[in-house]
Amino acid sequence: MSWLTDHVFAIREAATNNLKKLVEKFGRDWAQNTVIPKVIQLARDQNYLYRMTCLFAINVFINKPLFFFRLIFFDFHRS
């Protein structure tokens, strides 16, 4: 998960694409407990690059079935 905050854009981009594969492998519960809190944390970071990474990660999830979008959307609004 630390790759999401790397200083190099290409690393952060690859990390968001790897998240897609990891979520497919480990499932929704793992994403909800591990990935989503980190993505939400990035959304609130002072560094605009990390906020952009959050958006890239959400974009990757949106290309998955609808339940990933619901997972992100509802977790974001709950916290």
pLDDT in tens, 55-68: 988 888 776 655 55
Task: In whole angstroms, give the CA distance from residue 55 to residue 70.
Answer: 15
pLDDT in tens, 25-54: 888 788 888 888 898 899 999 999 999 999
Contact 57, 42 (CB under 8 A): yes
For residue 12, what pLDDT band results from cuts at 50, 70 and 90?
A: very high
Q: What SS3 state is found at 54?
A: helix
Hunting for tokens 């981009």 — which residue is that?
13
Task: In whole angstroms, give the CA distance from residue 25 to residue 56.
Answer: 20
Q: Any idea where the domains of the chain sit in the sequence?
A: 2-78
Contact 36, 71 (CB under 8 A): yes
